[in-house]
Structures are given as structure tokens and as C-alpha cells.
Chain A
Amino acid sequence: MTETASSAGRIGSRSNSGGLVWPAEGWSRVPFELFCDPEIHALEDERLFRGPHWSYVGLEIELPEAGDYTTCYVGATPVVLVRDEGGVLRGFVNRCAHRGAEVVRKPRGNARGFTCIYHNWSYDRAGQVTGVPWEKGRGGVGGYDASFDKSRHRMQPLRVASWAGVVFGTFSDDAPPLEDYLGPAIRERLSAVFARPMMLTGYQRHTIRANWKLLYENSRDFYHAPQLHKFFGAFGIVQPDQAARAEMWHEGTHCLLTIYQDPGAPKPRIRLEEPRVAAFRTALPDNIAISIVGIFPNCLFTLIGSAFSIRQFRPKAPDRFEVHYTYFTYADDPECLREHLFQNNQFGPAGYVAMEDAEVVEKLQARIALGAEKGASLVAMDGTDTTPDRVDHMVSEANLRAMWKGYARFMGFAPPKGGTAKPVAERPDR
């Protein structure tokens, strides 16, 4: 996009590099353009989803046997995750090295290798070309010339790595080691939760007609939870003053949200007739009721009672994304599956404490799409500072500001000039 005279007055005006200059007020303002602009959307695919970040691509329990595969998306790019004959997880782009056709057609399955239906090029489990029809010609004519070496052709590889059975992928050689990328708090939480054997319980697909970042931001938004989601309050399940904290990592873009059990919660006026829907017997030896783990840029874990899920974000357009849920619970206790089935009524597109989020972000998107360049959202609860590594109460939007600061940095947007944002404290040594 070229800079125009009129753009000077915009809240987030562009630099010549195609970037975006943050409003002078600082990280307490988030320009609506970020949620509407097709160029920013394309830039996110390049700098975030294909940049030096790790994206969630699956759980190891989905791929127990050699040849098991699943498909998903890293940003806009369709990828395949496979377990090879040596037990190693492989990732590649689901796009034929010949003409670019789709190769793996089913969402998941088990295969010895893969064949593109277009010209029958075949591939091994790592995405390497193994067969090319008429490679040497047919009936003495045609074929590829001597310079053609099929061993030099393959579907584009995706680097994969896993932590505690959770698999991530990156296209970038500059991504830090996965352990460093996740950081100590998220590593510990995932290790604690996944210390027992898990079983896969299902999938769910969900289309939301809004920008993906609105839901990613929403998942760490303490402020909205008791205000918007009345289910807990109406049935006396969670009180808004309950102890909670947010721990950030990766320049504020990851967030581990922890909400503790509140034994002193007031008795509700109205009760659920079936309390098992919201009975959080914590399956771990701690008093954590809910963990929500946002791992930038594409996933959210909800770890609550026995109802575990991970949501993979699949941006499709500035104003549309899909959420792909994977549900799982503990395999070593049949009671966990029972609890999971009951508790899962709270989550997903029909969930008691989730449906409002889709409703809000869709209607929000429809409003800001009209004249997006004129507005910005206000994120000034608990000051205008960004807290780089933790927030210890629920009455704050500091963790949102931290996320936007990190996002802007990863996108290459210039930081706000002047304004009221205070300098960010250095991350203390751990």
C-alpha cells in the first residue's frame, strides 16, 4: 500500500515499508485496522505463521503408529504431520512438488506413502518424491531429460518438535529451540498436565466471522470473563474476585492464565439441576481450577477439570478464521471421560461459557469494519504500562497491552512515538 496524504491523519498511519505506526497514545490503543486490513493479514502469514515462531500442529496421541497422519494449517498453509517408520514425526506442506496440487486428501488416516492424484507423483512419509510416471519416457519418446533428479524434489518440509506430547512446527530456521520458545511457566504447566496418559476424545470445527486476533486477545481478557459470561455467576460457580494470575512469555504474546479454586464462593441463588456440568474436580494435586494457555501465534489450551482442549487458529481472511478443537482427557481413569463429557458442555461453539465470545467478536468485527481506519480499541485498565512477564490480579488489561507490544514488534511495526506509554521494565532473571 502506498502512503497517501490522507493517511497522515489515520490513527495507525503507514510507513513506506508497508508497516503500521502505532497510535501515539501507546500500547493502550489498538488500531482497528489490525483486524480489517488485507495487507496486514498477508503480512501476518509471512512474519508470524511463516516467521520465527512455532505453531501448534497436533498431539502425539493422534499419531501413535507408524504411518499415522493428520492434516492442519500453519496460518494459511496446509500441512501434513506424519509418524514415519522410525517413529519420528515429519511435517510437510500439503502441496505437490510437481504442479502444486493437494496430495493428502483426507483429514487424517494411516498411509505407507502419498500419491498426488493429478499426475501420480508419489511420496514417502517424509514428503520426499519416490516415483514419477513416465520419468524416463514411454515407448522411447518423451520423459524428463538427464538433468532431472527426482531425489531433489519434495513437498516443502516443516520443522517439527514436541514438548510433553504437544507438537509444534515452524518454517523458519531462525525460530529458537522449542523449549526456550515455550518458556518455563508454560513448559511446567504442560508437563504437569500431560504427566499422565491422555486419550483423544474428538474434534470440533468452528468458523468465526471475525479477525483471529480478537479471539486470541479475548482468551487472556480477565476483564470480560465475569462481565460477559454470566453462566458461572448465575449458577454461583466462579466469582469474579477469585484469585488469578497471568504469566507472559515470548515478548508478552504467550499467556498462561491461572484461576484458582475458590472454596469460599458464595452460595448461588439458582443451582444447576445437574452440577456435574460444572464440577471441577481438579485432576491434579494443586488448587488450580482453570488454566488457559495461549501459545502465540496459533493455539490456546483450555485445561479445566477433566475437560481438556486445544484450539488451533486457522486464519482465512481478515474477517474470518476457523478454530479447530482437539478434545482429550486422561486415559488412566474412566471417571475422567465421564467428567469430560459433562464438563465439555461449557466449551466449544455451543459452550455455556464460550458461546458469547463468538457472538461478541463477530458483532465487533462487523462494527469496526465500517471505517476501521478511524478507530482504535481502548486497553487502559490498570494503567497504560505493559507488564512484560506477569499480572497478579483480574482487574487489569496489562497482559493485553503486553501482547500487542510483542505482536507489533514481531510484525515489524514501529513502536508508538511520544505518548504516555512508560518504558517497559526488563524481564527479571528467573
Chain B
Amino acid sequence: MSGIGLDVDREALFAIEQMNKAYARCLDDDRLEEWPDFFLDDARYLIQSRENRDAGLHGYILYFENRAMMRDRVKSLRIANYYNLHTDRHLIANVDIVGESEGVYDARANYAVIQTDAEGHSELFSAGEYVDRIEFRDGVPKFRERLVLLDTSNIVGLLAVPL
């Protein structure tokens, strides 16, 4: 029965599920300043289309390889950039641990982000998968890497707020 993951590390999975819920709430509540805290200092946050991934190409829409770059993103969104007025709703499902080695967990999750514009219209903005590497610090899971793998490789409008 291990093929369907019944032997999963339940404690770790619970912690990772809770982290994903907190991550979604953080972004949906527009508490962007707290978003880098889900990551280790030298963690990578990447957004890449499945099309590029499958072709073995970099093609990152965003490429951050430390927490400073994440803080820069948030600062720029706050003080410099104009983007579509909207609210996000992250729906994260199928959170699972698919591997573990020396305390680094490989985790996956599906996501969908519904955006609602300033006039109240909601649309599916992005669908895809989180491909994560996670480590625990004092019992708290932190991202070593979060790769947002876009099924929605054709971005409609623009992508300002992290997925």
C-alpha cells in the first residue's frame, strides 16, 4: 500500500500542509512583507512554465535565489510598480511528500489562483504545481526551494504578486 503514500511521515506532512495554508493566507491577505519568512535565507523562489521545463530551458518568469530578492520584490511592488488592482485566492490541494533525504523533504502540491478585479469579476488566473524542497528549522518547515510550475504558461495581463 506504500504506493499511495500510507507510509508518509505524518508529522512532517501535517506541518507542510499547515505551511501551505499559512502561505496561501499570507498572500491572499496581502501580507506580502511576511512572504519571504516562509523561505530560508539562501532559498530559491522560481516561476517557470511547464513548456520551458519540459524543453530543458530556463525561461523563468521570476528567478530569485535568496530571500533578499524576495524582499526586493515586495518593496518594489509597494513603492515602485503599478499593477492590476485585485485580490488573490490561492487554492492549494494534493499536498504530499514525495521523497526525503537527509532532512530535506521533496513535496508537491497543486494550486489554482483565482483573481478578482476592482469591479468584482473573478477569473482563474493561474493553475499549476508547487515543486518544493523543504527543511525544518526548530520544528518549523521552511522552503529551501519553491518552484511554481505553471500549467498556465500564457500569462493574461501581468503577474505582480507572487504565486
User: Residues on A close to B: CB < 8 A?
Assistant: 107-108, 200-209, 228, 230-231, 233-235, 270, 272-274, 277, 322, 327, 337, 341-342, 344-345, 348-350, 352, 354-356, 358-360, 362
Residues of B within 8 A of A230 (CB): 79-82
Q: Which of B9-17, B45-53, B93-101 lines the interface with chain A?
A: B45-53
CB distance from A109 to the nearest CB of B (A): 10
Please list 11 pairs of residues, one from A and one from B, whose beta carbons are closer than 8 Å in the complex, sorted by A's number.
Answer: A202-B57, A202-B58, A202-B59, A203-B49, A206-B155, A231-B80, A233-B80, A273-B72, A349-B155, A350-B160, A354-B158
Inter-chain contacts of B83 with A (CB < 8 A): 355-356, 359
Q: Which of B59, B63, B75, B158 contacts A203 (CB 8 A)?
A: B59
Task: Tell me the complex Cα distance, A227–B69, Å.
Answer: 24
Count residues on chain B whose CB falls below 8 Å from chain A CBs: 34
Q: Per-residue 0/1 for B72-86: is the Cβ within 8 Å of any A Cβ (1 yes, 0 no)?
A: 100110011111100
Question: Are the CB atoms of A344 and B84 closer together than 8 Å?
Answer: no
Interface presence of B4 (CB below 8 A): no
The answer on a CB contact under 8 Å between A277 and B72 is: yes
New A-B contacts (4) at CB < 8 Å, excluding given A108-B55, A231-B76, A235-B80: A204-B61, A230-B79, A230-B81, A359-B157
CB-CB under 8 A for A342 and B63, given A230-B81, A270-B75: yes
The CA of A341 and the CA of B49, in the complex, are separated in Å by 15
The answer on a CB contact under 8 Å between A344 and B63 is yes
Interface pairs A-B: 5 shortest CB-CB:
A202-B59, A273-B68, A205-B154, A349-B155, A350-B159
Q: Are A355 and B59 in contact (CB under 8 A)?
A: no
Measured CA separation A206–B152 after assembly (Å):
10
Chain B, range 145-162, C-beta contacts under 8 Å to A: 153-160
Note all chain A residues with C-beta closer than 8 A to B159. Answer: 349-350, 355
Q: Does B62 reach chain A (CB closer than 8 Å)?
A: yes
Q: Are B81 and A274 in contact (CB under 8 A)?
A: no
Report B27 CB to chain A, min CB distance, Å.
14
Asked if B66 CB lies within 8 Å of chain A CBs, one says yes
Known: A327-B59, A355-B81. A208 touches B157 (CB 8 A): yes
